[in-house]
Amino acid sequence: MDHFTYQDGVMHAEDVPLPLIAEQVGTPVYVYSRATLERHARVFREALEGVPDKLIAFAVKSNPNLAVLKVLGRQGMGADVVSVGEMRRALAAGIAPEMIVFSGVGKTAAEMAAALEAGIGQFNIESEEEGVELAAIAAARGLTAQCTLRINPDVDAGTHDKISTGKADNKFGVPISEAGQIFGALSRLAGINLRGVAVHIGSQLADLAPLETAFAKLGTLVEALRGAGHTITHVDLGGGLGVPYRVGEVLPAPAEYGAMVARVTRDWGVKLIFEPGRVIAGNAGVLLTRVVRVKRGINDPFVIVDAAMNDLARPALYGAYHHFEAVVPRGAGMRANIVGPICETGDTFAMGRECDLLEAGDLAVFRTAGAYGATMASSYNSRGFVAEVLVDGDRFAVVADRIEAGAIMDAERVPEWLA
Ligand code: LLP
């Protein structure tokens, strides 16, 4: 459930009419709802009530906006980060360092040092090589990094290939067949305390079965590691729960996920870490856009909007569906190709889509844009970076300025020898 609803025929974010935001901030603009973020955080937390000892660390990559992180931090969430940039955002939003988990397959030495110095709670080590390097960096500083070893369980998550992370040929984690040996080698090093294992098999999962398979494999591994004399106190189960993008689409509810987790992990006797991203932020945001013009087509007309693939990359990258609706529907429909202004055919949000009847100047939204939306924006075609707004009841604030194309150009230099 979200808080983007029609009131008197006009789409609102909570109690703010979207035309007001368009008028004051311009378009395209991402609009987030605080009440929706809080609701999703609460639902996820309640779904895990059967898990006694846990940390829920929001996957910052899904929406790193400072105000969004502030809202979620106040809901008791920690942060899952994959770069020092994300770590600094989590800290700036007031999230305690011990509630920050550092994942990612390419942590640089400088990033590991910065994270150690910030005192973050956990590193998820992705390879033996990385573990050795982290141990040396920590030992040189007289510090001990708290770590889990990320396992690649070789489970097909059944999601889009580009966001699947748990198959043997994906770059993430160490092969489960070698996990015992690598765990043994790393656990002997000074500078790290290897206290558990981690897994994350992919994103936008529409089925709990692959997750359960991966978790069960992890359970077996935990037993084997304990059998080999290791102390296992933490297991990180990653994120991945899918959300509905289409009207009427039904996905596993957080409560079903929570029940499955509680059942599978009942006897593990560990602290569990969760890294949800999309399920918290996805339906808490829309991308508000204005129709530039409607162009006749051979078949369907092209509705050309002022948002483009540089603002919302998911359709171009993954062929992803984002529901598209008029902000002030006329009560009639049309079949249209929804496209942006960028000069490549990939800048297409939808082909042959049944949608509200739209004319030049109308406002419309792409729904479910709160996760992996603004954060994946670029300035392709010398378009600026899109602005972001957070709504709270009947008030709203710009929480990320639009960065105009001119500001990006200002950061460029022509060398003297070309002048
Ligand atoms: N933990 C790790 C280690 C991850 O790699 C990810 C996502 C998450 C947690 C959060 O997963 P979530 O709960 O959001 O599914 N740009 C793509 C999604 C990439 C996800 C990458 N990793 C998209 O727009 O669909």
As for ligand 1, residues whose beta carbon falls within 6 Å of it are 59, 62, 80, 103, 163, 165, 200, 203-204, 238-241, 275-279, 314, 318, 371-372
Instruction: Output the average pLDDT for the chain.
Output: 97
**193: which 2 tokens?**
């305390």
Give the pLDDT mean for 2-28.
98
Pocket test for ligand 1, best of 48, 61, 197 (most atoms within 8 A of CB): 61
For residue 1, the model assigns a pLDDT of 78
**262: which 2 tokens?**
């509680």
Angle between helices 109-118 and 84-92 (to 10 degrees): 20
What is the fold of 4-32+282-410?
Lyase, Ornithine Decarboxylase; Chain A, domain 1 (2.40.37)
What is the value of pTM for the model shown? Answer: 0.97
Question: What residue segments make up the domains of the chain, in order of their start?
Answer: 4-32+282-410, 34-278
Q: Is pLDDT at 158 greater than 90 in this prediction? A: no
Q: Is pLDDT at 159 greater than 90 in this prediction? A: no
**379: which 2 tokens?**
């300035």
CA distances from 150 to 42, 73, 192, 238, 390 (A): 27, 25, 14, 10, 35
Full strand arrangement of the beta sheet holding 10-13: 4-7, 10-13, 16-17
For residue 38, the model assigns a pLDDT of 98
Q: Is pLDDT at 28 greater than 90 in this prediction? A: yes
Rounded to whole angstroms, the Cα distance separating 233 from 294 reads 59
What is the whole-number distance in angstroms between the Cα of residue 226 and the centre of ligand 1? 30
Which of 75, 18, 8, 104 minimizes the C-alpha distance to 369?
Answer: 18
What is the whole-number distance in angstroms between the Cα of residue 64 and the centre of ligand 1? 13
Per-residue pLDDT of 326-340, as tens digits, reads 999 999 999 999 999
What is the whole-number distance in angstroms between the Cα of residue 374 and the centre of ligand 1? 14
Atom of ligand 1 at shortest distance to CA of 239?
Answer: 13
- The residue whose CA is least distant from atom 23 of ligand 1 is 372
Rounded to whole angstroms, the Cα distance separating 352 from 328 reads 21
Angle between helices 34-47 and 66-74 (to 10 degrees): 40
Interior/surface letters 20-44, b for 16+ CB within 10 angstroms, e for the rest: ebbeebebbbbbbbbbbbbbbbebb
Known catalytic residue at 147: no
Give the pLDDT mean for 399-412.
97
**259: which 2 tokens?**
């029940």
Q: In this structure, is the dihedral angle defined by the CA atoms of residues 193, 194, 196 and 202, taken in order, positive or negative?
A: positive
Per-residue pLDDT of 43-88, as tens digits, reads 999 999 999 999 999 999 999 999 999 999 999 999 999 999 999 9
For residue 165, the model assigns a pLDDT of 84
For residue 164, the model assigns a pLDDT of 81
At the fourth CATH level, the homologous superfamily of domain 34-278 is: Alanine racemase (3.20.20.10)
What is the whole-number distance in angstroms between the Cα of residue 275 and the centre of ligand 1? 9
Q: Is pLDDT at 162 greater than 90 in this prediction? A: no
What is the whole-number distance in angstroms between the Cα of residue 221 and the centre of ligand 1? 24
Confidence bin at 419 (pLDDT 50/70/90):
confident
For residue 262, the model assigns a pLDDT of 98
Give the pLDDT mean for 7-20.
98
Q: Looking at 20, 140, 168, 343, which residue is catalytic?
A: 343
For residue 130, the model assigns a pLDDT of 98
Q: Is pLDDT at 168 greater than 90 in this prediction? A: no
Per-residue pLDDT of 263-317, as tens digits, reads 999 999 999 999 999 999 999 999 999 999 999 999 999 999 999 999 999 999 9
Per-residue pLDDT of 92-150, as tens digits, reads 999 999 999 999 999 999 999 999 999 999 999 999 999 999 999 999 999 999 999 99
Q: Is pLDDT at 397 greater than 90 in this prediction? A: yes
Better-scored residue on pLDDT, 46 or 163: 46
Pocket test for ligand 1, best of 40, 48, 62, 321 (most atoms within 8 A of CB): 62
For residue 167, the model assigns a pLDDT of 84
